[in-house]
Structure formats: structure tokens, C-alpha cells
Amino acid sequence: MNHYDAYGDEVLVALLKQNDRGAFRAIYLRYSSVLYQYAFNILREEQECLDAVQDIFVWLWTNRCRLNITALKAYLLAAVKYKLISAIRISKRRQE
């Protein structure tokens, strides 16, 4: 068992802000499948959902020093929802 598994989300976010790769990995392992399932329930397109989840985690790492997150799971789920909304809009524009 990894020692990061015992940490709550608040601690992981604080460690992430300090450039802790282990904390990022723990967040990824904790939430990537949850986010994918959420995305797939909305969109039903495997690759689009995988891309959306990946984009969220890339953004999370890139912006780790500026994070102000109090509820990590809710934040990530909202990020996926807005990412999918954007993807749907782009897809509709292409179809038109």
C-alpha cells in the first residue's frame, strides 16, 4: 500500500501544490476511472472520454501551483462535465 492512499484529498492537493509527483499519481489513480465512467455515461464515446479525462489531468498538473480546490472530487467531475460540453459544441459546429 502506498502511503499516499491514506491521505485525504485536501492533503493531496496541498502536496500537489508543492510539486509532489506522488500526490499527483495518487489523485490520478483515485479519480481517473471515476471521471472516465462519469464521462462515458454522458457521451458514450470511448476515445472522447479518455481524451477529456487526460486533458483534465494535464491541466491539473500544469496549474498545480495556482490551485484553490476545497472539494477535489466535485471539482474534477465539474471539469469533466464542462470539457464534454465544449466537445459536444465543437462536434455540433462541425456537423453544421
44: its cell numbers: 458514450
Residues contacting 31, CB < 8 A, separation 6+: 72, 73, 76
Averages of pLDDT over runs of 10 residues in the chain (96 residues) are 89 97 98 98 93 97 95 98 90 67
Q: What is the pLDDT of residues 22-36, one digit of tens each?
A: 999 999 999 999 999
At a CB cut-off of 8 Å and minimum separation 6, what does 53 contact? 32, 35, 36, 39, 80
Q: Spell out the residues 6+ positions from residue 32 whose beta carbon is closer than 8 angstroms to its own.
A: 53, 57
